[in-house]
Amino acid sequence: MTDQDAGDASRVEPLLDQIDGPIGQFTADGAYDGDPTYEAVIGHGAAVVIPPRSNAVEQPDAELPTQRDHHIAAIKAKGRMKWQVMTGHGRRSLVETAIGRYKSIIGHRLRARSFGAQQTEVALGCAVLNRMLECARPKSVRSKTKTA
């Protein structure tokens, strides 16, 4: 959570600093496309998967192409949809679905007034949602059926 004065992209570095284990990939939407995000993520040894803006161009003066340059080139060569499949960017939709589920069940707005109380409210909402999901999650088993 960020307060109303902080942008989400400005919080990438502090959030990554809270992770003890290795980070394989950082996937985000285009709002995070910028040097500060790339620097923070690469500083943690992770691959960056952020779609560059539609008018993005590769850096012509760079000695080595950056991850962002590779993304731009791949999108130009194969198209945005194939790039999403190649990089696994489509998995981001699972997170969007979880946020949508939270908002539809818990609500679209916070009721608490202070930032600390809002953090507690979100934590409680997540705990409630996780408990609800655990109760109703089906235990599926894949079976092979013979077809005639």
Burial class (CB within 10 angstroms; exposed 0-12, middle 13-18, buried 19+) of 80: middle
Reported as a single tens digit per residue, the pLDDT across 99-141 is 888 898 888 888 999 988 988 999 999 999 888 888 877 777 8
What pTM did the predictor assign?
0.69
Question: Contact 93/85 with Cβ under 8 angstroms?
Answer: no
